[in-house]
Structure 1
Amino acid sequence: MKERWCKYLLGGLVIAALAGCSSKPTDRGQQYKDGHLNHSLELESQPNARGVPVNGNDYSEQLKKIQSSAPSLFTRNNATYQAVQNWMAAGADPKKLSQFGLNTYQMGGVDNYGNVQFTGYYTPVVQARRTQQGEFRYPLYRMPSNGKRRLPDRAAIYSGALDPRYIIAYSNSLMDNFMMEVQGSGYVDFGDGQPLVFFGYSGKNGHAYRSIGKVLIDRGEVAKADMSMQAIRQWADTHSEAEVRQLLEQNPSFVFFHPEVFAPVRGASAVPLVAKASVASDRSLIPAGTTLLAEVPLLDNKGKFTGKYEMRLMVALDVGGAIKGQHFDMYQGIGPEAGHSAGYYNHYGRVWVLKGADGGAAQFNAYQPTTASSSNGSSLITR
């Protein structure tokens, strides 16, 4: 009788444990296979990672761009870069990282169970003209020389508060202009057969940023679970121009640009970015130039998690206002296809920071006492 009771008790404990695990969300790629992690960056002797990176060539190309564009950044991290390349040449088995002089730090994630947040950003291509004509009537502005005066908010700018001499182009979509502001830069196609012109970030008007995605959620017009760049655009497509403008005016912050001919897309480190081999990070936790081995969740064409992951090597080369703590914004590339992918990402994967044993790994030890911090929101609506 006692033996049977113990058997039932053990079975009950197993069922309870399984029930506890199943109660944790997994619909956005969350994993709990590593158990509770005590630190933001936890040194692992042998990381619990499977598979090999799918983008070894892109990672190598990104390193070349760092070397040519930011030699001092490259030099500071060269011990790690060389060790990673040696590891890749030998088969890229995650279990053998230490054999190549690489220390591996697993990130604790937003929940201390290794679930690191991934969002996406991209470089849009906006159709525009140099003068106002027909449908091309929505101005893009360069940074005004305002002295010490505070610049107008978005609503006032839309109403013509800025001197027209600051206009650098007219697009055919107010929403396209806004999305380029959210991304921080973009390419402009003037429709004249000439190469696209890069519009780089030039500054802001100094007013606080308010997420229009959150506005739509709070109004009950888009469900929080469905919020994405596509959802915002779909909302705009089914509402009048006046309603779209009224929504955008809920965000008083406004971004200015400066045109650059033949310019590549660069991150905050002044390095040209390679799609899906570079990320924006919180530099207080992940310094510029840091190499990451990431288990990235794969999404289908409708933005749903497929249940699969792929390993990628990426370098932290950019920053973002909403990118805090255990959160990375992955650069997806240029144009509509990249925008489609970026617009859906607000998912979770596991990340290991790679650092050469002789390449300044001690800087990461300083983070060991710190518990994992959380990050709320997606860069597509808060960046």
Structure 2
Amino acid sequence: MKGCWAKYAITGTLLALLAGCSSKPTDRGQQYIDGKLEQPLGLVNQPNAKGRPVNGKDFSDQVGQIRSASPGLYNNQNSTYGAIESWLLAGGDTRQLRQFGLDAFQMEGTDNYGNVQFTGYYTPVIEARYSRQGEFQYPLYRMPPRGKGRKLPSRAEIYSGALDERYVVGYSNSLIDNFMMDVQGSGYVDFGDGRPLMFFGYGGKNGHGYHSIGKTLIDRGEVKREDMSMQAIRKWADEHSAWEVRELLETNPSFVFFKPETFAPVRGASAVPLVAKASVAADRSLIPPGTALLAEVPLLDNNGKFTGKYEMRIMVALDVGGAIKGQHFDIYQGIGPDAGHTAGFFNHYGRVWVLRSAPGTGLFTSNQNGNNGAMLTRVSQ
């Protein structure tokens, strides 16, 4: 899921195919001030960046969650986390990283000029009831048993009633809301009975291939490529009939099942509760879980347009995603509609430096794994 244990498909999945640079555009926050970079992760003396991180407390909270939920992961990174927190307490000046024993490795970006892709994901909140009634007609399912050598039904087959009602865990009032929670991989459900929201964690998927409905709308000429966003998809759904919405959704045969949990926080694939805008999903072949990142993130206006400004953030890689490959991060935006508004627009670029402690005379280098992957390893001198 995006959230608990395995992130299935994300808001960024709908947008990842839309990324790309030509003639060095800057409308999505692309920068070209560092020249061509030759390594996926290159050691630099200090980041070529102005400003100080704006989310020091959130980073400390996220580290606290790692310490509590995953002591092993915390112990692997505690020297780095400690050095970063000391640096933040001293003001977080990027020119002083080395004074706190921190090395910075700049990511080469999707274009080898440092432009790292950012998308966003969030945890939706939807309304549902325990039984089918009134407007609440759209089932949410838990994972059914998978027969040996048998595929589970496709989305279209599930919409047509291929699954037994005993696997239904609730009925929502919106098929598009169900789909959005499917895409995010988890969500909170309000059953309207006065009880606390129930967390629907990722419970598995049907094994069919994922197809982006955003790409379908672009290919059909119904939404312009440059206008594609979660908001554009919702607007399209609002302007079309229930059957047209269903037909569009059925072009994606993949389907996510949920696991209801009471009083559960949103967790990433590392089983650590996520702090909004202090955690990201990353490609594990390049960025190991628990890795600390210094990111220069583009700021968007309320319409999702790049403002020309950036802010520095310290974040931790704690989640994964099928569409998150290479020089691309999916930033967790939080819970509810405001977080969804931001996440739905994000398909922009900024710069990222991996931070690692550098005690003694050791040196971090980048072991390349093909053209798109690398793992940070310590080499003794």
TM-score, normalized by length of structure 2? Answer: 0.90
Distance in 2 separating the partners of 1:224 and 1:306: 20
Distance in 1 separating the partners of 2:268 and 2:364: 23
Distance in 2 separating the partners of 1:360 and 1:133: 67
Q: CA deviation at 1:146?
A: 2.7
Distance in 2 separating the partners of 1:31 and 1:337: 27
After superposition, the Cα gap between the structure-2 partners of 1:287 and 1:72, relative to the gap in structure 1 and judged at 3 Å, is same
Distance in 2 separating the partners of 1:254 and 1:364: 40
Amino acid at match of 2:271: A
Distance in 1 separating the partners of 2:361 and 2:251: 45
Distance in 1 separating the partners of 2:365 and 2:186: 32
Q: CA deviation at 1:372?
A: 5.3
What does residue 62 of structure 1 align with?
Answer: 62
The alignment's C-alpha RMSD in Å is 1.7
What does residue 138 of structure 1 align with?
Answer: 138
After TM superposition, list the pairs within 5 Å mapping 1:110-259 onto structure 2.
110-148=110-148, 149-259=150-260
Q: Any conservation in 2 of the 1:140–1:167 contact (CA below 8 Å)?
A: yes
Q: CA deviation at 1:358?
A: 3.3
TM-score, normalized by length of structure 1? Answer: 0.90
Q: Any conservation in 1 of the 2:299–2:309 contact (CA below 8 Å)?
A: yes
Query: What SS class does the counterpart of residue 261 from structure 2 fall into?
Result: strand
Distance in 2 separating the partners of 1:24 and 1:365: 27
What does residue 91 of structure 1 align with?
Answer: 91
After superposition, the Cα gap between the structure-2 partners of 1:360 and 1:213, relative to the gap in structure 1 and judged at 3 Å, is farther
What does residue 345 of structure 1 align with?
Answer: 346
After TM superposition, list the pairs within 5 Å mapping 1:240-279 onto structure 2.
240-279=241-280
After superposition, the Cα gap between the structure-2 partners of 1:362 and 1:289, relative to the gap in structure 1 and judged at 3 Å, is farther
After superposition, the Cα gap between the structure-2 partners of 1:179 and 1:312, relative to the gap in structure 1 and judged at 3 Å, is same
Q: Any conservation in 2 of the 1:292–1:315 contact (CA below 8 Å)?
A: yes
Q: CA deviation at 1:150?
A: 1.2
Amino acid at match of 2:179: F
Amino acid at match of 2:80: T
1:175-221 deviation per Cα after TM superposition (whole angstroms, max 9, x unaligned): 00000010000000000111000000010111100000000000010
Q: Any conservation in 2 of the 1:153–1:205 contact (CA below 8 Å)?
A: yes
Q: CA deviation at 1:24?
A: 1.5
After superposition, the Cα gap between the structure-2 partners of 1:305 and 1:140, relative to the gap in structure 1 and judged at 3 Å, is same
Distance in 2 separating the partners of 1:360 and 1:175: 55
Amino acid at match of 2:125: V
1:293-346 deviation per Cα after TM superposition (whole angstroms, max 9, x unaligned): 000000000000000000000000000000000000000000000000000000
Q: Larger Cα Rg: Structure 1 or Structure 2?
A: 1
Distance in 2 separating the partners of 1:50 and 1:297: 13
Q: CA deviation at 1:370?
A: 5.9
Q: Any conservation in 2 of the 1:39–1:372 contact (CA below 8 Å)?
A: no
Amino acid at match of 1:97: L
After superposition, the Cα gap between the structure-2 partners of 1:193 and 1:221, relative to the gap in structure 1 and judged at 3 Å, is same
Distance in 2 separating the partners of 1:316 and 1:26: 26
After TM superposition, list the pairs within 5 Å mapping 1:305-324 onto structure 2.
305-324=306-325
Distance in 2 separating the partners of 1:108 and 1:60: 27
Task: Give the gaps of 5 or more residues in structure 1.
Answer: 1-21, 374-383
Amino acid at match of 1:113: Y
Distance in 1 separating the partners of 2:289 and 2:325: 14
